Amino acid sequence: MHTEASCPVCYRLELGGQQLSVNEWLGKSIRIEYLQQIECIHCGHITRKSFSQGFCYPCFSSLAQCDLCIVSPEKCHFHLGTCREPDWGQAHCMRPHIIYLSNTSGVKIGITRETQIPTRWIDQGAIQAIPILRVSRRYHAGLIEHAFKQHVNDRTNWRNMLKNEVEEVDLYQVFESLWPLVKAELDADLIEDAEEIASTDGVLQLDYPALHYPSKISSFNLDKNPVVEGKLDAIKGQYLILDNGVINIRKYGGYLVSMECD
């Protein structure tokens, strides 16, 4: 789903070459049916199974964007000359990255390309986020993030996020308390590359389209049950929250589906 940081967040779903306003579906009954076909989101070939949210196995095993270092950027090996696609790495990883704190199901640390703010935060379902440091490349961002992870979480409890069981916190104060601890653990070259950009007025507040949030979470799986039906109660992160379960739309990239809204 494509997003825009309005209030509330605006969601648009690309389906059949059209972009549909998902916000307008709130309170309406929707039906999603998986039509038993998956096309790789990179090469377009038909695949029996989706890997890494939409890739066929050959693409998953050969593309730099599917390598382990995308999930664990501190394991970047571009500087060793072993990147799967050096040109792709140069264009996407050897670029300024932002280290940030967000509040999803609690405070977490993360990194993203500068061009992915605030999209990255919306995709996580964050209610607050603040950029704290800017570095010249993804590898440095990963190393600094890894140091932060010794003091703060780097994962979201997705169930609590979808229940909206999240209290607001002072993210700038969290940075002020953690940065001296993390800084003491970093090499000099990382400290030199890390530009401090956090400010008291730099926190972005995010609100999501919702009639109400669920008290219990059950998730739909199109691979096991190809039909999803229910009333749309909310949209948060990349999830549609129905009155009888939730579905992670991003998980089904490349799936051929039909969609109806009453």
238-253: pLDDT as tens digits: 999 999 999 999 999 9
**How many residues does this entry show for the chain?**
262
On the question of pLDDT at 54 being above 90, the answer is yes
- The tens digit of pLDDT for each residue in 130-156 reads 999 999 999 999 999 999 999 999 999
On the question of pLDDT at 42 being above 80, the answer is yes
On the question of pLDDT at 89 being above 90, the answer is yes
- The tens digit of pLDDT for each residue in 219-241 reads 999 999 999 999 999 999 999 99
Close Cβ partners of 246 (under 8 Å, ≥ 6 residues apart): 162, 214, 217, 218, 219, 220, 239, 240
Close Cβ partners of 220 (under 8 Å, ≥ 6 residues apart): 228, 242, 245, 246, 247
On the question of pLDDT at 16 being above 80, the answer is no
Element (H, E) at 142: helix 138-148
What's the CA gap between 212 and 198, in Å, rounded?
33
Average the pLDDT over 166-178 and give the result. Answer: 97
Band the pLDDT of 1: cuts 50, 70, 90. confident
Average the pLDDT over 28-33 and give the result. Answer: 96
pTM score, whole prediction: 0.93
On the question of pLDDT at 22 being above 80, the answer is yes
Write down the pLDDT at residue 262.
Answer: 85
